[in-house]
């Protein structure tokens, strides 16, 4: 049991929810349909057995495709079409007695597709199978059948929508800092990897600016942690409001923030860091209290990892703090092309 739980937890961490849903529905289709293939073959119902076998094979192949190539969008659409197509086919070939499968087939589409296309496909399938309701088992009214089917679809839609909303909230929480609303460390690592990939493939430069609030411990000790939190929120808002639209802000931890300046060499990034430093120094972050920040700047290099890139920016930050705080330091090698008269200091 423990091993199965660990396996499920590992898969959930490595795969998206959509991939897991497609894989689960594919597995269910195989598990539930294969016994009917055997039973119908033993009964000599070869056409019906062949259709069930085709459904099982296509579902299996679809699940493997989604798992191997991670295209849950395409695989989910194909799986929904498979379920509804098989429903229409067997209802017309073998009578309305098999319309019982309309309940799982139509409910499943809301988990595999977005609500509007799922509802449209379900309506089409129900319309195509409606003539077969005359063959419903004795005692089953047509009105009761459609009422139950409609209720099932409404409940499936509500449940699938709630699940999708929950997944969106969890995804947001996974990449957003709860206090400041900026990206968190996980989001920063993904953004750095993307920037590094663009640099290697297209030569697009990028620079990191690491900021740290000076004497933040004193703020917490003398004004309280609530005041410290307000200062962090105000700093995050100031950074977001004064960077370019295509740049990103992250809270790395504690009182340290990181700005990823896309397309910027060290010189322009250093000037932006200096502008932000001055802006912070003249802007009260908590009540009438002004605070300062120190900053370090490092440009992306071809011969390093994202961790090494961040460590260089962090090292420049701590050099700025060691030199007296309330200043910016740019990696000397990155700043080699900067104008000597540039007000931004180099380590």
Q: Supply 332's token pair.
A: 């000397």
> How far, in Å, CA of 130 to CA of 146, rounded?
9
- Structure-token match 């808002």, residue found: 237
What per-residue confidence (pLDDT) applies to 110? 92
What per-residue confidence (pLDDT) applies to 339? 44
- Do 327 and 276 form a contact (C-beta atoms < 8 A)? no
Calculate the alpha carbon distances from 87 to 9, 56, 96, 154, 213 in Å. 34, 13, 10, 19, 63
DSSP for residue 289: E
Q: Supply 295's token pair.
A: 């900053």
What per-residue confidence (pLDDT) applies to 167? 76
What per-residue confidence (pLDDT) applies to 335? 63
What per-residue confidence (pLDDT) applies to 125? 94
> How far, in Å, CA of 105 to CA of 115, rounded?
15
Q: Supply 42's token pair.
A: 């033993």
End-to-end CA distance of the chain: 56
- Do 17 and 72 form a contact (C-beta atoms < 8 A)? no
Q: Supply 89's token pair.
A: 């086919």
What per-residue confidence (pLDDT) applies to 341? 34
- Other CB atoms within 10 Å distance of the CB of residue 249: 25
Q: Residue 298 pairs with which residues in a beta bridge? A: 208
> How far, in Å, CA of 261 to CA of 269, rounded?
7
Residues 6+ apart with CB under 8 A from 76: 18, 21, 22, 66, 112, 113
What per-residue confidence (pLDDT) applies to 290? 87
Mean pLDDT by 10 residues, the chain (347 residues): 56 67 89 92 91 91 85 89 92 86 92 92 93 74 87 92 80 78 90 92 94 93 91 94 93 93 94 95 87 95 93 95 94 61 39
Calculate helix-pair angle for 306-322, 185-202, nearest 10 degrees. 110
> How far, in Å, CA of 192 to CA of 259, rounded?
11
Q: Supply 28's token pair.
A: 């269910």
Burial of 42 (0-12, 13-18, 19+ CB in 10 A): exposed
What per-residue confidence (pLDDT) applies to 69? 83
Please state the pTM of the whole predicted model.
0.59
- Helix H or strand E encompassing 67: helix 46-69
Backbone angles phi, psi at 23, to 5 degrees: -65, -40
């Amino acid at each position: 049991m423990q091993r199965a739980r660990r396996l499920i937890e590992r898969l959930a961490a490595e795969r998206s929810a959509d991939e897991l849903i497609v894989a689960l529905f594919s597995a269910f289709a195989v598990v539930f349909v294969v016994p009917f293939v055997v039973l119908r073959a033993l009964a000599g119902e070869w056409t019906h057995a062949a259709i069930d076998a085709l459904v099982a094979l296509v579902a299996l192949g679809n699940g493997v495709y989604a798992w191997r190539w991670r295209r849950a969008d395409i695989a989910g659409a194909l799986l929904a079409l498979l379920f509804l197509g098989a429903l229409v086919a067997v209802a017309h070939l073998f009578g309305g007695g098999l319309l019982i499968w309309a309940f799982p087939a139509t409910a499943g589409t809301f988990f595999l597709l977005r609500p509007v296309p799922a509802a449209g496909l379900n309506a089409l399938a129900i319309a195509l199978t409606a003539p077969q309701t005359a063959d419903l088992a004795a005692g089953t009214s047509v009105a009761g059948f459609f009422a139950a089917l409609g209720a099932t679809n409404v409940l499936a839609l509500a449940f699938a929508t709630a699940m999708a909303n929950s997944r969106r909230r969890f995804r947001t929480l996974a990449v957003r800092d709860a206090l400041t609303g900026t990206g968190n460390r996980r989001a920063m690592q993904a953004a750095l990897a993307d920037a590094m990939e663009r640099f290697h493939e297209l030569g697009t430069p990028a620079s990191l600016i690491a900021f740290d609030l000076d004497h933040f411990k004193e703020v917490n000790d003398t004004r309280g942690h609530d005041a410290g939190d307000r200062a962090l929120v105000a700093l995050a808002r100031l950074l977001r409001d004064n960077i370019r639209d295509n740049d990103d802000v992250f809270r790395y931890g504690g009182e340290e923030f990181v700005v990823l300046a896309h397309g910027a060499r060290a010189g322009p990034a250093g000037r932006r860091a200096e502008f932000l430093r001055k802006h912070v120094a003249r802007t009260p972050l908590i009540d009438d209290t002004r605070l300062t920040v120190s900053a370090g700047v490092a440009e992306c290099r071809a011969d390093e990892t994202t961790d090494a890139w961040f460590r260089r920016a962090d090292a420049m930050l701590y050099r700025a703090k060691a030199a007296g705080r309330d200043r910016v330091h740019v990696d000397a090698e990155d700043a080699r092309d900067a104008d000597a008269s540039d007000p931004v200091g180099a380590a």
